Structure 1
Amino acid sequence: MDFALPPEIDDVRRRVRAFVDTTILPLERDPAAYDEHENIAPAVLEEVRAKAKAAGLWSLQMPKERGGGGLNTVGMAACYEEMNRSIFGPVCFNSAAPDDGNMVLLNKVGTEAQKERWLQPIIDGKVRSSIVMTEPDPGSGSDPAGMMLTRAEKRGDRWVVHGRKWFITGAEAASHFILLARTSDDPRKGLSAFLYHKDQPGWRIERRIPIMGPEEHGGHCELVFDGLEIPEDDVLMKIGDGLKATQIRLGTARLTHCMRWLGLSKRALEIATEYVSRRQAFGKALAKRESVQTMLGDAALQIEMGRLLTMKAAWKLDQGDFARKEVSMAKVVVADVLHQAIDVAIQLNGARGYSKDTPLEWMYRYARQAKLVDGASEVHKMVLSRFLMEEGQDFWRWGV
């Protein structure tokens, strides 16, 4: 692959960076810009989103004919990294999870009617969305095909859903939902994907689950389904294609997490390098100390390794490859990179880093989820082990 960005993509990247610098980063220093869950306040967000739309930086991952920017996956990698130099960044551009992954999935597999009804309002920023998969023990987590307990049964021309889900990101703020439920006991074709609206009866939010870190808009919720009825037109793909739908969604969604986390990692080092360059101790700036240089150099190295893995996976996705190995590698490495970069930045800032005078403590609490969301790191390593056992030396083959 060619690591040089096409000029048109680099132009968008530069514009995103400038927008983050001038419009979003200043908000992090304003207590009034935060909501009660430590995210950007809704009223402030709407103002910033309007500016992003006016600047032509809205929904860059979606087709131009639907009002997006038409970026491919490589372009997304470059621009998402710039967006998440701010803790508020991605949502301001309509590029935050879970909306981002849901839009990508609906755009790839939805019918034209489904795109108009369910996708276009998300692209336009009129509604938020959520994907409903994970269940409480003993239900599905990393093994949805084998453990999903929520069931949808056909009754007449409707599918009727009963079950319970939890840690559903964004559910409290969402209007459009993608729901995974069991429709048969077939080990590979037993799950199906459905679309439903928040106003449909037969389901409820049981609670918003408190978490250790700052929350996405809409939180992480526990849902109960006690007779939700879904018409046939709102089946996404075909009955039995639910596992396929999740694989299509998660391939890109896992990688977009990596893209954003790399931006946050770089921001942590920005804060660290600025501080150690001016902070004096024992007669010289901290940046002149060999121990500090080693910490910064290693963190910078790890970020670049994560970027290369992420960009390779993005490139393979753009070639039509599923890039399962590459996405898993990036997900494992970048989750660790994020934690390391922020931890180093806190250490080098001392008590200042542990305080709320910088966003580092916010970032540190947020970063711990990286090793869990969209598949725990251990699961991705198991996936890589399976590929190694099947492919042997071909695990590292060059594409020709």
Structure 2
Amino acid sequence: MIDFTIPSEVAEFADEIRGFVVDEIVPYETDPRLTQHGPSDELRAELVGLARKRGLLTFQAPRRFGGREPSHVDQAVLYEAAGWSTLGPVALNCAAPDEGNMFLLSRIANETQAQEFLQPVIAGHQRSVFAMTEPDGAGSDPGQLATTAVFDGTHYTINGHKWLITGATGARTWIIMANVAPNEYGPSGPTLFLCAGDTPGIHVDRVMSTMDRNYVEGHGVVTFDDLRLPPSCVLGEVGDAFRYAQLRLAPARLTHAMRWLGAATRAQSIAVDHARTRTAFGKPIGEHEGVGFMLADNEIALQQCRLATWWACWKLDQGERGRHESSMVKALVSEELFKVADRCVQVLGGIGISDETPVGMIFSDMRAFRLYDGPTEVHKYAIARQVLRTEGTRP
């Protein structure tokens, strides 16, 4: 039985997070260190320091690493509160890609790897990247993985190109997906490697210019040129990269939905306030049907997205894998929240496309949500395949 009653301690903690974001983080939204390529590392460090001082940093971490380890449903409530500002998750250290990488590493990294590469990320002292996407195809279809790792019995030598690697510039913890070539020394296949960002052979060629600017240091283009790593750098087991990626992706799709729900709710709040105070043709514009209906559509969509996210989180909390459910939520929420942000821009009129409010930035950043962690069309393809396999067998 699903019970979406929010425990009082969770509601109180969400209020504490929201208050922190409103009071201490929102003022940074006009800081010049929030650049076209996202927050700078300097800005991130300052924001993280504020959260650390308040005892709120990385609250989602496992208890064994000092976190609160909330359930997935509880995370949905807390991440929505953090997402009131796009800088909120950055400050609280629950933003992508670090949040998803911490989730993955906490489950498959060995003790030595966790101490060197995971704990500093949890502490907010360094950032991480997940280097999978490639210019020639690997991304939504990881089967096109072209980056290679050749094992000579003592070292893996990695060569290849990646792009849209979020936060590559300045990141210290690197998770790299490469295809281990068949060899006489052991198993082969798609594999995850874990290493430091200053290891010789990792080259961040440039930062791409993109329409979103909510991720620290933007999205990089990366070359691996004879990157030599010992077997101790293998994360998990050789050949199991796709399975580990799925372990990471299902919850990560949902945490994206949680955070963006907070931002969309913020945009709706700004639009409602504007509709109450802006007048046209003798009355507040919210009393005109065209504007009022947009606000009503937003309110419906926000609650639909919230409940869908909670439902998928509940599935994960019951021990289910959640691939099908997270795909449905990712497809639904990314599309609906983009419509919410678009309608908020429309309600605001001219100031909606300006930097007079954060709504324009939320709208621009939200557009990318329809693409990362799988574009809507890929998720619908996966959903349709699942439906065709199982629909006839349901009672």
Q: TM-score range by the shorter chain?
A: over 0.9
Structure 2's unaligned 5+ residue stretches are none
Q: Does residue 269 of structure 2 align to residue 270 of structure 1?
A: yes
Report the alpha carbon displacement of residue 156 of structure 1 after superposing the two structures with TM. 2.4
Q: How many residues align?
A: 391
| Match of residue 49 from structure 1 | 48
Structure 1 pair 256/23, CA: closer, same or farther in 2 (3 Å)? same
Structure 1's unaligned 5+ residue stretches are none
Q: Does residue 160 of structure 2 align to residue 160 of structure 1?
A: no
Distance, in Å, in 1 between the alignment partners of 2:95 and 2:11 is 21
Instruction: State the SS of the aligned residue for 1:172.
Output: coil
| Match of residue 12 from structure 1 | 13
Distance, in Å, in 2 between the alignment partners of 1:273 and 1:394 is 46
| Match of residue 198 from structure 2 | 199
Report the alpha carbon displacement of residue 333 of structure 1 after superposing the two structures with TM. 1.0
Instruction: State the SS of the aligned residue for 1:228.
Output: strand
Q: Deviations over 1:157-207 (max 9, x none)?
A: 21110111111111012111000011147xx97211000111111221122
Report the alpha carbon displacement of residue 69 of structure 1 after superposing the two structures with TM. 2.2
User: What value does the CA root-mean-square deviation take over the aligned residues?
Assistant: 1.9
Distance, in Å, in 2 between the alignment partners of 1:225 and 1:87 is 31
Distance, in Å, in 1 between the alignment partners of 2:70 and 2:312 is 15
Listed as ranges, the matches of 1:22-61 within 5 Å are 22-28=23-29, 31-32=30-31, 34-37=33-36, 39-61=38-60
Listed as ranges, the matches of 1:199-238 within 5 Å are 199-238=198-237
Distance, in Å, in 2 between the alignment partners of 1:13 and 1:32 is 25
- Higher relative contact order, structure no. (Cα contacts within 8 Å, ≥ 6 residues apart): 2
Report the alpha carbon displacement of residue 310 of structure 1 after superposing the two structures with TM. 0.7
| Match of residue 134 from structure 2 | 135
Report the alpha carbon displacement of residue 41 of structure 1 after superposing the two structures with TM. 4.9
Conserved? CA contact 1:265–1:337, under 8 Å: no
Instruction: State the SS of the aligned residue for 1:171.
Output: coil
Q: Does residue 19 of structure 2 align to residue 21 of structure 1?
A: no
| Match of residue 181 from structure 1 | 178
Report the alpha carbon displacement of residue 135 of structure 1 after superposing the two structures with TM. 0.6
Q: Which amino acid aligns with 1:190?
A: G
Listed as ranges, the matches of 1:202-351 within 5 Å are 202-351=201-350
Report the alpha carbon displacement of residue 302 of structure 1 after superposing the two structures with TM. 1.0
The percentage of aligned residue pairs carrying the same residue is 38
Query: Normalised by the size of structure 1, how large is the TM-score?
Result: 0.93
Report the alpha carbon displacement of residue 37 of structure 1 after superposing the two structures with TM. 2.6
Q: Which amino acid aligns with 1:22?
A: D
Instruction: State the SS of the aligned residue for 2:199.
Output: coil
Distance, in Å, in 2 between the alignment partners of 1:103 and 1:44 is 21
Distance, in Å, in 2 between the alignment partners of 1:143 and 1:135 is 10
Query: Normalised by the size of structure 2, how large is the TM-score?
Result: 0.95
Conserved? CA contact 1:81–1:263, under 8 Å: yes
Q: Deviations over 1:324-352 (max 9, x none)?
A: 11101110111112211111111111111
Structure 1 pair 43/229, CA: closer, same or farther in 2 (3 Å)? closer
Q: Which amino acid aligns with 1:17?
A: R
Distance, in Å, in 2 between the alignment partners of 1:191 and 1:235 is 11
Report the alpha carbon displacement of residue 136 of structure 1 after superposing the two structures with TM. 0.9
Instruction: State the SS of the aligned residue for 2:238.
Output: coil
